[in-house]
């Protein structure tokens, strides 16, 4: 029998303290009871045997498309059977935090079979010692065994000698509920080049926006500036590993802080989110980063931050009523370090409370998505990683 991880949410989900912007030195909120009527939830394994799975997408036929960080993309049958890796992937600089990372189906995938994926791209002549995050477009073959017409449509510049902080979450932008033909890509600052997050001539530590063909949208905020790369949407990010469109239709991201100071932001065009000038984190081992300040004019405050760090990865908003009306519109975030999920209450564009979800899961959570069935699906990051489905427990 497959194991089941269960949590009586209504009775036992502890509400954690919360540091809330925009105050520069925000005070934690007092704990309050979980919402009445919240369901009990259990995590049921759908598949296992995945090697460091990183991202998940849902195919129209009920199967799953999963990336594995060492450099494989494969289909998982609805019954959990793993199919052979797809052929046709480009060269990947797998190692450290790099590899094959996010995947996103085109909003018209059922017709055009187009998908997008991001990965750590080697430097010139296949040199993996220098690399950067790249975004590619491809088409899934009719027999679903290979990628066709693979084309890199964006490549982070410059290439850099690092195996850290690739970022790499993809979101298709929507306006009035319809795709506007552009993609957001969240990019890390490669760790040792953190000051580049403020440099508009570098893609490090940025959210970029490009057309589905790699073109630069005419209304990007820095397109007309000679001193800036035209793909940049926002700057001052550290290492974003969660991104999704919220109920408000806007882009939300979360990013890793160094030692504390993980953040949730809602990147707006041309805005500066502060890293590394302002942060609620500190250097590994202790000590202030830069001037040790948490606010500065011209830099945005996070909507929410975690101290201590949970190492967030993956983000989804609940749009269905499968977990009851109280959860609809709320955010679920995975945690690598804390080996659990969190459910965050979102009201009027603000994070107002945070609840432990599956605190006894005991596995690093890399991705969380809402499926077409309205249920949440989770990937656990391990050599024997799992795909889990979160089901309301029968009462």
Q: How far is CA 266 from CA 5, 65, 269, 336, in A?
A: 32, 27, 10, 22
Catalytic residue among 165, 203, 237, 256: 165
Give the pLDDT confidence score for residue 360 in this predicted structure: 86
pLDDT tier at 20 (50, 70, 90 boundaries)?
very low
Are 222 and 203 a contacting pair, CB within 8 Å?
Answer: no
Percent of the chain at pLDDT exceeding 70: 90
Complete domains list, the chain, with CATH: 5-392 (2.120.10.30)
Mean pLDDT of 269-273: 98
Give the pLDDT confidence score for residue 393 in this predicted structure: 85
Among residues 171, 106, 170, which one has the least CA distance to residue 139?
Answer: 106
Give the pLDDT confidence score for residue 395 in this predicted structure: 61
pLDDT tier at 38 (50, 70, 90 boundaries)?
low
Asked if the model's pLDDT at residue 203 lies above 80, the reply is yes
Adjacent-strand bridge partners of 137: 116, 151
198 in helix, strand or coil?
Answer: helix
316 phi/psi in degrees, rounded to 5:
-145, 145
Among residues 98, 74, 96, which one has the least CA distance to residue 85?
Answer: 74
pLDDT tens for residues 214-252?
999 999 999 999 999 999 999 999 999 999 999 999 999
Asked if the model's pLDDT at residue 13 lies above 60, the reply is no
pLDDT tier at 344 (50, 70, 90 boundaries)?
very high
Give the pLDDT confidence score for residue 40 in this predicted structure: 83
**Which of 20-29, 123-132, 188-197 shows the lowest mean pLDDT across its residues?**
20-29
Mean pLDDT of all residues in the chain? 91
Give the pLDDT confidence score for residue 28 in this predicted structure: 34
**Residue 197 DSSP code:** G
Q: How far is CA 255 from CA 75, 79, 371, in A?
A: 28, 33, 23
pLDDT tier at 359 (50, 70, 90 boundaries)?
confident
For residue 59, say if its preceding peptide bond is cis, omega within 30 degrees of 0.
no
pLDDT tier at 355 (50, 70, 90 boundaries)?
very high
Give the pLDDT confidence score for residue 367 in this predicted structure: 98
Asked if the model's pLDDT at residue 365 lies above 50, the reply is yes
Asked if the model's pLDDT at residue 32 lies above 50, the reply is no
pLDDT tens for residues 118-148?
999 999 999 999 999 999 999 999 999 999 9
Percent of the chain at pLDDT exceeding 90: 88
Examine the residue annotation and report whether 237 is marked as an active-site residue of this protein.
Answer: no
Q: How far is CA 76 from CA 68, 86, 111, 232, 362, in A?
A: 12, 11, 21, 35, 23
**Which of 6-10, 109-113, 157-161, 317-321 shows the lowest mean pLDDT across its residues?**
6-10
Give the pLDDT confidence score for residue 37 in this predicted structure: 52
Q: Which residue has the higher pLDDT, 20 or 93?
A: 93
Q: How many CB atoms lie within 10 A of CB 347?
A: 10
Which pTM does this prediction carry?
A: 0.92
Angle (CA) 98-110-99 rounded to 5° is 5
d(CA 62, CA 166): 30
Adjacent-strand bridge partners of 172: 183
Give the pLDDT confidence score for residue 30 in this predicted structure: 27
CA atoms within 13 A on the CB side of 154: 30
CA 172, 176, 177, 180: dihedral to nearest 10 degrees? -30
Mean pLDDT of 86-104: 98
Asked if the model's pLDDT at residue 33 lies above 60, the reply is no
What does the buried/exposed string (b/e) look like for 210-234 if buried means 16 or more CB atoms within 10 Å of the residue's CB?
bbbebebbeebbbeeeeebbbbbbb
């Amino acid at each position: 029998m497959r194991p089941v991880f269960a949590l009586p949410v209504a009775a036992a989900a502890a509400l954690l303290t919360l540091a809330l912007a925009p105050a520069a030195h925000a005070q934690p909120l007092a704990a309050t009871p979980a919402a009445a009527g919240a369901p009990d939830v259990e995590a049921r394994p759908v598949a296992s045997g995945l090697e460091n799975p990183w991202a998940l997408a849902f195919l129209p036929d009920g199967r799953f498309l999963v990336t594995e960080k060492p450099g494989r993309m494969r289909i998982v049958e609805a019954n959990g059977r793993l199919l052979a890796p797809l052929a046709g992937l480009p060269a990947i600089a797998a190692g450290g935090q790099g590899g094959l990372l996010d995947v996103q189906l085109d909003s018209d995938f059922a017709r055009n079979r187009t998908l997008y994926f991001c990965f750590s791209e080697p430097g010139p002549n296949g040199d993996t010692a220098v690399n950067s995050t790249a975004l590619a477009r491809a088409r899934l073959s009719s027999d679903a065994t290979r990628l066709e017409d693979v084309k890199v449509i964006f490549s982070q510049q410059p290439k850099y000698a690092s195996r850290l902080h690739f970022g790499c979450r993809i979101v298709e932008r929507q306006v009035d509920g319809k795709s506007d033909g552009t993609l957001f890509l969240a990019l890390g600052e490669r760790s040792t080049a953190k000051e580049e997050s403020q440099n508009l001539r570098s893609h490090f530590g940025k959210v970029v926006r490009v057309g589905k063909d790699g073109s630069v949208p005419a209304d990007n905020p820095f397109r007309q500036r000679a001193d800036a790369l035209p793909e940049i949407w926002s700057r001052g990010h550290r290492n974003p590993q969660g991104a999704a469109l919220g109920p408000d239709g806007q882009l939300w991201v979360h990013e890793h802080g160094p030692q504390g100071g993980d953040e949730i932001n809602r990147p707006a065009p041309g805005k500066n989110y502060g890293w590394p000038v302002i942060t609620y984190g500190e250097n590994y081992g202790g000590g202030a980063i830069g001037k040790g300040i948490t606010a500065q004019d011209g830099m945005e405050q996070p909507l929410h931050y975690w101290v201590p760090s949970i190492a967030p990865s993956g983000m989804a908003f609940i749009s269905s009523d499968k977990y009851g009306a109280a959860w609809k519109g709320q955010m679920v975030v995975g945690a690598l370090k804390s080996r659990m999920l969190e459910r965050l209450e979102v009201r009027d564009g603000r994070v107002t409370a945070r609840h432990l979800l599956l605190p006894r899961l005991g596995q690093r959570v890399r991705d969380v998505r809402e499926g077409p069935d309205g249920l949440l699906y989770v990937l656990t990051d391990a050599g024997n990683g799992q795909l889990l489905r979160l089901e309301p427990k029968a009462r």
